[in-house]
């Protein structure tokens, strides 16, 4: 009789009775239900700037202000300023004509970046853009 589910072999070469999965599959199983999807619509407050990295890749960075719903506004904070970045070559060209005041939409994922500064460890949250488009030119 053929066994459709062979008994996996442990890293030390011995057979075990429990099923194991490759590392990638295990990571995917742990991530079930995890999501990191961002959809933003807001007004450009810092025009896109392009920086060449030591690797030769280009990084485009811009900032938008996203208005909070009236029920979530605080007396001194009615918008959330959000920095967006992208390493995609096409995004450099796509954002080239964006100006302050343009309304844009961005999809992507929230990322936290770490570095060492003169004052010690530092970090920032940014949206790594996957897609972006101008909805309306500013007035």
pLDDT tens, residue by residue, 3-36: 444 444 444 444 444 455 577 777 767 767 788 9
What is the per-residue pLDDT across 60-115, written as a single tens digit (0 to 9) for each? Answer: 999 999 998 877 767 777 889 999 999 988 999 999 999 999 999 999 999 998 88
**Which structural domain, as residue segments, surrounds residue 48?**
38-136
pTM as predicted: 0.71
C-beta separation of 91 from 108 below 8 A? no
CATH number (domain holding residue 71)? 2.40.50.140
Give the chain as a 3 state SS string: CCCCCCCCECCCCCECCCCCCCHHHHHHHHCCCCCCCEEEEEEEEEEEEEEECCCCCEEEEEEEEEECCHHHCECCECEEEEEEEECCHHHHHHHCCCCCCCEEEEEEEEEEEEEEECCEEEEEEEEEEEEEEEEECCC
Longest dimension (CA), the chain: 75
Of 64, 53, 118, 60, nearest to 89 by C-alpha is 60
Is residue 29 a part of any domain in this protein? no
Is residue 13 a part of any domain in this protein? no
Is residue 32 a part of any domain in this protein? no
Domains in the chain, number: 1
Is residue 62 a part of any domain in this protein? yes
Is residue 7 a part of any domain in this protein? no
Is residue 2 a part of any domain in this protein? no
Q: pLDDT at position 6, please?
A: 42
Is residue 17 a part of any domain in this protein? no
């Amino acid at each position: 009789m053929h066994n459709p589910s062979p008994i996996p072999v442990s890293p030390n070469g011995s057979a075990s009775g429990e099923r194991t999965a490759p590392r990638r599959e295990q990571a995917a199983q742990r991530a079930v239900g995890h999501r990191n999807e961002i959809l933003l619509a807001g007004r450009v407050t810092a025009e896109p700037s392009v920086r060449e990295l030591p690797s030769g890749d280009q990084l485009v960075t811009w900032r938008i202000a996203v208005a909070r719903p009236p029920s979530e506004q605080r007396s001194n904070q009615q918008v959330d300023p959000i920095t967006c970045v992208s390493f995609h070559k096409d995004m450099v060209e796509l954002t080239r004509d964006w100006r302050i005041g343009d309304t844009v939409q961005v999809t992507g994922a929230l990322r936290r970046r770490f570095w060492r500064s003169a004052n010690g460890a530092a970090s920032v949250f940014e949206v790594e853009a996957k897609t972006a488009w101008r909805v309306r030119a500013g007035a």
